[in-house]
Chain A
Amino acid sequence: MIEIRNYRGFFIFLIGLLFLCIIFNLSLGSVDIPLWEAIKITLGYPTTKPTFEYILLDYRIPKAITAILTGGSLGVCGLMMQTYFRNPLAGPYVLGISSGASLGVALLIMGSSVFGSWFASGELGFRLAIMIAASLGSLGVFSVILLASIRLNNSTSLLILGLMFGSFTAAIVNILMFFGSKEALQKYIFWSFGSLGNINTSELKILSSVIFIGLVMAVFAIKNLNSLLLGEKYAQSLGVSLKRSRYLIVFSSSLLAGATTAFIGPIGFIGLAAPHLIRLLIPSTRDHKIILPAVFLGGALLLLVCDSIAQIPGSASILPINGITSLIGAPLIILLILRQRK
């Protein structure tokens, strides 16, 4: 629809801001690394402080990349859901994919406390088991949703189905929690706080490959998403195959939401807020060719900022990222909406 070059300035602004946030984010943590050192090490210059290099390369840079990928994916996923369901309240959770991941993890943690431990012991084995359980959980819900979407005729039914799945899985998780031991409950709650820093380089490779596939599919859905802005009937009259575009959108969002929840844990709010944030910043277009990449950057930016705040500058403790996202994000959106109304 609208030329991308008209928005070049906006993208340069977003990318610039993202870089600033990355540098700022890298310098934060329990060990104080000066901004300048952080920039030097990131760009590959030799440094006099090997500890700094170790902390940055093995811990903070992977974490920043994870934040960018996760925030961006959740934003894109939320945008697709909002356009497809024509509902501004839709987000990555509406298909029930994240709830599926939660169910997988709850089954693993509580189940093992009830039936005895059967997964590999030790911290590393436990983390791996959690990721596998979360992946299987989201994959399970995803398969059911995809099968259902073949039978269903409209997006509203799919929306209701997804929300029902969410409630259903949440109910099972609740019952599991009721029977779970104190330690298991604690473990589950810690998982549900979400964590960006728990991911190593090889896990990051898997995460980024899945996200890459999800994003490529999202890009291929752009034309259909634009037609869908007119409603399903008009989209159809413009040559859109409703079934094919539904598979594309459901598949892509499931990959994005499923992978991030499996590896990072449930992260609320970003998927809902990033599309709204970008639409408020560029109200002059609804073209997904512009909005979709902007939402990726916006989601990445939001999560990076939240992660920086979660570090509590000057302290050694880290707040749960899932709490911070809403704590920071909600007032931001309220502020923007109030300003726009004037």
Chain B
Amino acid sequence: MIALNKLTTGYISEEISKDLDLTIEKGTLVGVLGSNGIGKSTLLKTLAGFENPLNGTITIDGKDIHEMSPIDRAKNLSIVLTERSLSGDLLGKEVIQLGRQPYTNWIGSQKAKDRELVSETIEQMNIGALADRKLKTMSDGEIQKILLARALAQNTTIVLLDEPSAHLDLYNKALLFQQIKKIVSLEQKTILFTSHDLNSAIQICDKILLLLADRWEFGTSDELIQRGVFQTVFPKETVGFDPLQKQFKICI
């Protein structure tokens, strides 16, 4: 269970998201939605512990994540980022194995249990063919799978994904979301992902956190539709929302 308690994120010069106050139960898929620049990534970075909150706290099962040691935090939270700063010479397998770093000794040797978990993850994600290939030879979709597998191998209750579908075509996006759904229901993990692809998110998320310029909304997609908040996301003359089809439409 992860709780945001009166959380305000942003930078000293600028508050981005104000007074977020909500609780997310185990085994929930949460989409953090909003338009570009509204603060989705900043919220995710604050949740990951990279940034400090301006106000309020984030707790996992009652423990403040910004008070945890880096190792403890790494055992509770894993993340997949949009930035691709990875060394292209790494093998797929090596990236996934690095997910076990928080559990290994001072020099990072892997025990039988670590290796088992890594091969289970590779099997579960069906990426055996990628394991022995170098990252630089992979497509965006393939790298995304490797990174997701790495986050799973980290064996955390909470997984954060920053724009996981950003570089993917429709088919690969669908595959990825299926995979994510499966992980949430099978392993009772909480997955939070940011996206500006509202249509897909409405279709797959258990809960949606919608960030708007002056407020935030949290609930299931049906709840948010009933509250009529989707209609206020974009200017009516450009993008409209069809509550029956649960879809945003471009106004032509």
Contacts and interface: CB of A to CB of B under 8 A. Distances in A.
Given A285-B91, A286-B90, A237 B107 contact: no
B74 A229 contact: no
Interface string B198-223: 00000000000000000000000000
Contact of B101 (A86, A226, A231, A232): A226
Contacts of B86: 229-231, 234
B50 interface: yes
A233 B83 contact: yes
Contacts of A230: 85-87, 90, 95, 98
A306 interface: no
B240 interface: no
Contact of B83 (A219, A231, A289): A231
Interface in B40-82: 48-50, 69-75, 77-79, 81
A287 B89 contact: no
Interface in A268-290: 279, 283-287, 289
Contacts of B106: 220, 223
Nearest to A230: B86
B102 A86 contact: no
A248 B104 CA distance: 19
A233 B99 contact: no
Interface string B130-150: 000000000000000000000
How extensive is the interface on chain A, given as a class? 20 to 34
B97 interface: yes
A241 interface: yes
Contacts of A286: 87, 89-91, 94
A239 interface: yes
B74 A285 contact: no
B119 interface: no
A234 to B, nearest CB: 7
Contacts of B73: 239
Given A222-B108, A223-B108, A229-B90, A237 B95 contact: no
A124 interface: no
A229 B49 CA distance: 20
Interface of A: 1-2, 83, 86, 219-220, 222-223, 226-227, 229-234, 236-241, 279, 283-287, 289
Interface of B: 48-50, 69-75, 77-79, 81, 83, 85-87, 89-91, 94-95, 97-99, 101-102, 104, 106-110, 154
17 contacts: A1-B94, A2-B94, A2-B97, A222-B107, A223-B107, A223-B108, A233-B50, A233-B83, A234-B98, A236-B50, A237-B48, A238-B98, A238-B102, A239-B71, A239-B102, A286-B90, A289-B107
